[in-house]
Amino acid sequence: MTIRVCLAGATGWAGSALARAIAQTDDLELVAGISRQGAGRRLGEVLGLPALDTPLYASAEEALAHACDVFVEYTKPEVAKANASAAIRRGAHVVIGTSGLSDEDLQELGELALAHHVGVLAVGNFSLACVVMQKCAELAARYLPQWELIDYASAGKADAPSGTTRELAYRLSQVGSPPLTVPLDQVQGPVETRGATLNGMQVHSIRLPGYVISIEALFGHLDQKVSIRYDAGSSPDDYVQGALLAIRRVHSISGLERGLDSVMEF
């Protein structure tokens, strides 16, 4: 059976790599794409793939006039929630790759999805290497109770922390809540230097030229340290395999699930 896909952000860095990959599959069909600059054109024209005649629209409302089974959100946080809501209301399952949505945004989308009997799979990072890192950090958090996260990204990345880090913070909060030896209100000096508290843990975001996306979970225990780190490469292809998996499996969930591992076997 063919899965009909609507891809928001089809001309972007991540979305165009995914579109190219979808075009090469036998079981997925790209029925519509979203890009304001590409609106009115065919995706194949924009990507240099003449055989790909997927129409592009400026908004989700217009693109969703084409019936789809799965809506992939790969644009910007400002429009991601509205796009995903529109898709859910149309009865489509949703895969969210866009970063910057809060826990509350995702929770609301999950409730809407439950009401419409569809699934929302929010994946902060589709890379399989990142999934492995997340699982290792979850394991470490079960035995090493104190940790902090460092989130690295390029100088121009506006949202902080990254979707990858938000997702890890959420996941680790389901394992435990790391105590601070010196509470924040007893810090001597600018308290901001201790980072932001997200999901009950300290998160430090670095934004510098030369970085892509990296995340480090640092665990300290007695006189020992464990650091678990993921470094993204510079190619959008790193995210394609996981995104295809999410598209193929999102129909199996109902309401919200976070993380690619929720549709993988471990």
Binding site for ligand NAP (CB under 6 A): 9-15, 34-38, 74-76, 79, 97-100, 123-126, 163, 239
Q: How far apart are CA 232 and CA 248, in angstroms?
A: 23
Query: Which CB sits closer to ligand NAP, 15 or 119?
Result: 15
Query: Which CB sits closer to ligand NAP, 35 or 202?
Result: 35
Q: DSSP 3-state helix, strand, coil percentages of the chain (rounded to 5)?
A: 40, 25, 35
Structure tokens at 54: 């997927």
Q: How far is the CB of 261 from ligand NAP (least distance, A)?
A: 13
How many C-beta atoms lie closer than 10 Å to residue 252's C-beta? Answer: 12
Q: How far apart are CA 118 and CA 129, in angstroms?
A: 28
CB neighbour list of residue 57: distance below 8 Å, 6 or more residues apart: 32, 33, 34, 39, 63
Query: Which CB sits closer to ligand NAP, 124 or 161?
Result: 124
Kind of pairing between the strands at 201-207 and 196-198? antiparallel
- Per the CB < 8 A criterion, the answer to whether 157 and 99 are in contact is no
Q: Which residues pair with 217 in a beta bridge?
A: 149, 228
Query: Which CB sits closer to ligand NAP, 78 or 143?
Result: 78
CA-closest candidate to residue 216, choices 149, 133, 138, 171 = 149
C-beta nearest to ligand NAP: residue: 12
Q: How far is the CB of 13 from ligand NAP (least distance, A)?
A: 4
Q: How far is the CB of 148 from ligand NAP (least distance, A)?
A: 22
Q: How far is the CB of 101 from ligand NAP (least distance, A)?
A: 9
Q: How far is the CB of 217 from ligand NAP (least distance, A)?
A: 18
Query: Which CB sits closer to ligand NAP, 122 or 144?
Result: 122
Q: How far apart are CA 21 and CA 7, in angstroms?
A: 12
Q: How far is the CB of 257 from ligand NAP (least distance, A)?
A: 14
Query: Which CB sits closer to ligand NAP, 131 or 228?
Result: 131
